[in-house]
Amino acid sequence: MGNFILSIDQGTTSSRAMIFDGDAHVRAIAQQEFKQIYPQAGWVEHSAQDILGSVMAVVAEAVVRADITAEDIAAIGITNQRETTLVWDAKTGKPVCNAIVWQCRRTAEYCEKLKAHCGEFIYGKTGLIPDAYFSATKLKWILDNIPNARKRAEKGELLFGTVDTFLMWHLTKGAVFATDYTNAARTMLFNIYDLCWDDELLKLFDIPKKMLPKVQPSGSFFGYTHKSVLGAPVKICSAVGDQQSALFGHLCTKEGDLKNTYGTGCFLLMNTGDKPVKSKNGLVTTLGACVSGKPPYVLEGSVFVGGAVVQWLRDGLKIIENADDSETLAESVEDNGGVYLVPAFTGLGAPHWDGAARGTICGITRGTTKGHIVRSALESIAYQVADLVDAMERDAGIDITRLAVDGGASRNNFLLQFQSDILNCETVRPQTVETTALGAAYLAGLTAGLWKDLDELRATVRTGKVFAPDMKEEKRKQLLDGWAKALRQTQTR
């Protein structure tokens, strides 16, 4: 057996491939951004060909950079942007339309009606609050709006999948049509208590069951890649949604463990073990990653725009040249100057769930500089996470004193110090911030036998930096009050 794990991390704005060795050290990394498509306000799409092409490119590059061959790879792990919806031809693999991205709000109006009429019914089966975020209404939209899609689906000519399913189908040349519990649980079609596609939900959304993939544990054998991909067949031994992958990458395998990922959005997850926690504060209940067996339950809060606000500063406003500039500019001013930015570009996620809200900047004066704007943008990420933490503390009945963090924006020291200050708790950044890719690698390696158990993995973990709170309570309250006021000005209800 090979001594390396190839981890494919297919994200919202880029695809990444990482090679990990037997000590869970990064041997090589390759990354490629791809185009974001905005057909109209609130709509977000990806070209399925761009997703697949970028994955194939980074896989080839990472293998070359690591100076290894297919025979050296013990297994492949796949982690992916969740909820993003694809429908393709069962024979050719050709998509019937662009992928509808998790951020897309085209079905928001329909979801408001769902919430009013059958919100409790859906939550009782899926742990999810009806929202355009999840896959079910995206899939229904495709079947209702793409010519002949519904007829073809009913005949068994079309397949549905989240990104993991689409990638595995293509990597195996159609031999594997499967997903895992964590991705299935985010579709709003999967019963998280019975662990199966739910017939009543399929009827509600008018989805043909024959379109749906097989569901299995995140860490399990899915199949072999086609020999044309890497020159020889390689086992695929994990598939897992990106946020549950990050939770596993932090080895948050015990009840009460939690982490926050600063990616395109922000995602706070707590492992609640075999006990599903039903939220009263706008969070959702979902499933976590496991190696075989039954998955644990997870309490989750999701922010739609986290690190993406930095991308907006760079590409939209063009007031920074790269993400690192945001830290320098934020520290160029003493404080936010009374400026608050609420990045509700595609609505507000948990715990507010206001799909009609749009971004707001409050408190601008003649003295406002780009430093204040950038600082308020970074602070907005921390405030949104603080809202999630507050909701989670109330739901779980615990005080959170330590937050494990990861994701691209977690490299920003200003952000993490401000996060620690505004939460009044320790914020811990691991040495490997690409914890999402690491989680998929851990699951694949455990399944393939590269690592024998979790204890062996824990020995590989290396802490990077700990940020301790250093803000007076009066100042913290003043800032949080300012954020609450800005939120009220943004919300539509």
pLDDT band at residue 284 using 50, 70 and 90 as cut-offs:
confident
Distance of CA 304 to the CA centre of its chain: 10
pLDDT digits 0-9 by tens, 7-26: 999 998 899 999 999 988 99
**What is the pLDDT, as a whole number, of residue 304?**
85
Class of CATH domain 4-243: alpha beta
Contacts made by residues 311-318, CB under 8 angstroms, sequence distance 24+: 311/13, 311/264, 312/343, 312/345, 312/377, 313/373, 313/374, 313/377, 317/373
**What is the pLDDT, as a whole number, of residue 401?**
85
* 111-129 mean pLDDT: 92
The domains of the chain are located at: 4-243
d(CA 304, CA 121) in angstroms, rounded, equals 24
More confident residue, 256 or 246: 246
pLDDT band at residue 396 using 50, 70 and 90 as cut-offs:
confident
- What value does the mean pLDDT of the chain take? 93
For the chain, percent of residues with pLDDT exceeding 90: 75
pLDDT digits 0-9 by tens, 454-465: 888 888 777 788
pLDDT of 429 over the 80 cut: yes
Cβ(295)–Cβ(182) below 8 Å: yes
The string of DSSP letters for 381-414 reads: HHHHHHHHHHHHHHHHT----EEEEESGGGG-HH
pLDDT band at residue 197 using 50, 70 and 90 as cut-offs:
very high
pLDDT band at residue 451 using 50, 70 and 90 as cut-offs:
very high
More confident residue, 293 or 48: 48
* 83-108 mean pLDDT: 95
pLDDT band at residue 200 using 50, 70 and 90 as cut-offs:
very high
What residue type is assigned to position 454 of the chain? L
pLDDT band at residue 209 using 50, 70 and 90 as cut-offs:
very high
* 92-102 mean pLDDT: 96
**What is the pLDDT, as a whole number, of residue 43?**
93
* 470-489 mean pLDDT: 95
The CA distances from residue 48 to 18, 85, 95, 297, 464, in Å, are 21, 10, 7, 31, 36
For 321, which DSSP code?
S
pLDDT of 233 over the 80 cut: yes
pLDDT band at residue 297 using 50, 70 and 90 as cut-offs:
very high
**What is the pLDDT, as a whole number, of residue 201?**
97
